[in-house]
Structure 1
């Protein structure tokens, strides 16, 4: 059964003649285990088939004293201005009226859905491993008519039917509460709406806020699919130089300050969008620290840049790396300690409503769920919803039902945070395995790296100047040779040039991207060993000669 949907203000006796008023829970600081008690009372009609909803209904903090988001009318595309949404879905708001006989919408009868119940086995908190789930897992079940039979607020007859572009009210409530718990957006009119994943969300926002011929800003090495999403729209990506902590705000400021249509490629207007992956950036693994994020936000305020904060790896922030032989850093002891340990998001710094944050269940639950969400100002969310209603619509109702049963009814917010701590420690172990393998098997005189703080990726820099064929061979040719040698040795890493923000750019650096996300530990180590063999072979060195070189260096010191 679901936790109570609301809690009333009450009075508790102190003596026979005295009492104290228990504070209104909606006015207290939000804690994970208190969310259920803060939930506002809702009408049953809100949970019905295709019921429209807004995350504004589910926020505990109504925003008193916070600023309103600025408006972005000048940044909306001609398509976004023209789009009016789905006229037929406007009738859905009347479906909850008692006694209404609907002959309007094309909603099929649930009696023709060939499912009576849906069950799955999920881990119980805190026994999250596969082995523990087999022995101690809990069977979670959704019936076909749980809502009608008052057994729950989300069922097969509702979830498996048509829905709104926002997604179901049931899961949207949980998402809104989670966003408020983790990020506390500092302006009033923020909202969430569901997506079918962040790639789709990026596609939509580019259509909402760019025109053919525009440039957007991003890290100089960036998510290849983002570039490939923008390119067919006639939108190009301008790469901003990076360091080990990600995008350099002073370089972005310099680019924007000197941008004029007369001196920039194709006579393009000044960019007004920044696409960034602040945590565990794909492909470099770089994580922007809190001050770096504040500095980026300040530059965006100066130049009035709208920020697309793509954060699939936010909760894959790991324990500090202390070295291959050092003891592991213990996990956070409390939910508060865990949340405090996370680098503050750009959304949590956003006083203007200039950030669209893209979240996803892909990296923390399952990519195949195809459920994510955006958080942005009411104006932008409303434009996004209009687009979704006539394109992707909401995410799969089957996925939404499974996630709701897991996250809301089974784990709750506290259990989900426990799960996030669990996968944090699992990814920390994986990161440590690949770093240990690199320290053991790679020629340090040629290959260098920074320990990633978050995400799934390890970025390996190759000193191409030591290659025996340089400079007669170009950097791309050396990259190609190493890549193919690694394949010959039975391993696969990705070429750094595949992640250029602009394919026409030429960099005087050589990188490869490795991932530690999925392979068993021993296979990660073996793959790095094979990569090291291929690099040595390409550079014409042996492990023995390399060791001899290191000893000579030590003697000189």
Structure 2
């Protein structure tokens, strides 16, 4: 793909925070530029001399991109080697003297070029002058975005359930969430439009939100993946109301087909790297004609989290201000991480990297399928549209106690729980009908301040006592202020509780045992 026919990003500098506007370039930047001049004698920069680095050479063994990740560790004979020397004879090689030295805060130029081409080919941005800037992982990247755009006491648009660490950045600034309702695809465009159109009425005298934080693939915690048409709708709404979209997308490669509860053991269909790339739901970048999307990419979920390496894709104005922050906050990601990942990507090539991502996706899909199948076999699992059609908000798969006769279920009979099988990421989100739990009904009768929270805390403790650890749903409630801490104060539906299950770490057989323990606790705490 070429960029010659695409427009340039529009001027969005009015979104910059006061902090971002007042950043100035590091005074050392000019010195580093001059040091590149041939023949110059530098007594300016305090750079350690490479001869005094204790590392002489290094070698890293890696899997080939087509390695089978579903079984035992691939044999040593199938591995590839990445080799690094301090002073290599090959002038184009990645050398330790460079990657272990102070470097450009943008990140290694060859790595940024590689990622620029990958972004152009795979994500097909809608404007021409996008830039790549490396960061230390998406948590660090989002922190820089908040400082780039947000002022104290701003409102930030986000999903109805959102990543806790994302909130932790802006809560100390006095910022508050504006939660947008979800369905099986993630954020609802109709509710976003409603909130923004009525802002002056519902929030008189308050500045309308101009930042959106969204995890569109494998949403953490719900596991939903937003499809193309929905993304177009949301982008157009954001363009109309002049909103910047922070697209936090570490799970973009982990997109799965829908899980079929009637065929839980369906075989995963492998794809080539090229087929895999074409199968991905487009990034918000595809529709971004203005340059209003700041995409946060990370190698944490597809290479390793310990690498602490990711990158921004954004317009030049935002990239320049993010760079100013990077110069004084973190300088540059680890040279080891940049060097190793650059060497890996160059060795594999773009086609090989896509093949790796495809195989990785297949492995996580198998784990997703294993968890869903284990839940379905431990309960009576039925399509919610057929058996819980009269229950508000019921989507996906409805769970009843094991042995329940489907013919005996009435249309308005509440299931114990419902879940939408994940179509991306690493998590499964279950919603529980708490009115079916005697202890919850007791808490309501006693006038507990927040019976939903109290019951779910007790439920979580009971699960832990039975040696199965899950994540409480309360962790993912967006912060709206101290006056909206209880279920009723937030205006959330009463009698509903949530838990998040992760399928990324344990093998399917181990997860099946975990679900067995989960079912034992459910059978004790919920009515038959």
For the superposition of Structure 1 and Structure 2, which TM-score range results when normalised by the shorter chain? 0.7 to 0.9
Of 11, 28, 35, the residue aligned with 1:95 is 35
Match of residue 179 from structure 1: 119
* Residue-by-residue CA offset, 1:234-272 (whole Å, 9 max, x unaligned): 222111111111101111111111112x7429x531000
Structure 1 residues 370 and 136: CA distance shift in structure 2, 3 A? same
Of 498, 505, 514, the residue aligned with 1:518 is 505
Of 496, 500, 504, the residue aligned with 2:477 is 500
CA RMSD in angstroms, aligned pairs only: 1.6
2:168 aligned with 1:231: no
Task: Give matches, 1:335-350, under 5 Å.
Answer: 335-350=273-288
Match of residue 458 from structure 1: 428
2:315 aligned with 1:377: yes
Q: Secondary structure at the match of 1:498?
A: helix
How far 1:375 sits from its partner (Å)? 0.3
How far 1:540 sits from its partner (Å)? 4.6
CA distance in 1, matches of 2:243, 2:217: 20
* Residue-by-residue CA offset, 1:344-365 (whole Å, 9 max, x unaligned): 1101110110100000000000
Contact 1:153 1:170 in 2 (8 A): no
2:45 aligned with 1:105: yes
Task: Give matches, 1:25-36, under 5 Å.
Answer: 29=1
CA distance in 2, matches of 1:528, 1:309: 33
How far 1:133 sits from its partner (Å)? 4.3
CA distance in 1, matches of 2:257, 2:57: 41
Task: Give matches, 1:434-453, under 5 Å.
Answer: 434-442=371-379, 443-444=399-400, 445-453=415-423
Match of residue 13 from structure 1: none
How far 1:404 sits from its partner (Å)? 1.2
CA distance in 2, matches of 1:67, 1:165: 27
2:439 aligned with 1:469: yes
Match of residue 527 from structure 1: 514
How far 1:127 sits from its partner (Å)? 2.5
Q: Secondary structure at the match of 1:383?
A: helix
2:408 aligned with 1:423: no
Contact 2:273 2:357 in 1 (8 A): no
How far 1:339 sits from its partner (Å)? 1.2
How far 1:520 sits from its partner (Å)? 2.0
Q: Which stretch of structure 1 is more off in the superposition, 451-460 or 315-324?
A: 315-324
CA distance in 2, matches of 1:135, 1:439: 40
Match of residue 67 from structure 1: 7
Structure 1 residues 209 and 96: CA distance shift in structure 2, 3 A? same
Match of residue 284 from structure 1: 222
Match of residue 388 from structure 2: none
Aligned length: 475
Match of residue 43 from structure 1: none
How far 1:506 sits from its partner (Å)? 5.0
Gaps of 5+ in 2: 380-398, 401-414, 444-450, 485-489
Contact 1:311 1:357 in 2 (8 A): yes
2:203 aligned with 1:264: yes
CA distance in 2, matches of 1:124, 1:397: 23
Q: Secondary structure at the match of 2:41?
A: coil
**Structure 1 residue ranges (4+ consecutive) displaced by more than 6 angstroms after TM superposition:** none
Match of residue 547 from structure 1: none
TM-score (norm 2): 0.87
Of 73, 76, 82, the residue aligned with 2:22 is 82
Q: Secondary structure at the match of 2:370?
A: helix
How far 1:318 sits from its partner (Å)? 2.0
CA distance in 1, matches of 2:254, 2:75: 22
CA distance in 1, matches of 2:68, 2:53: 33
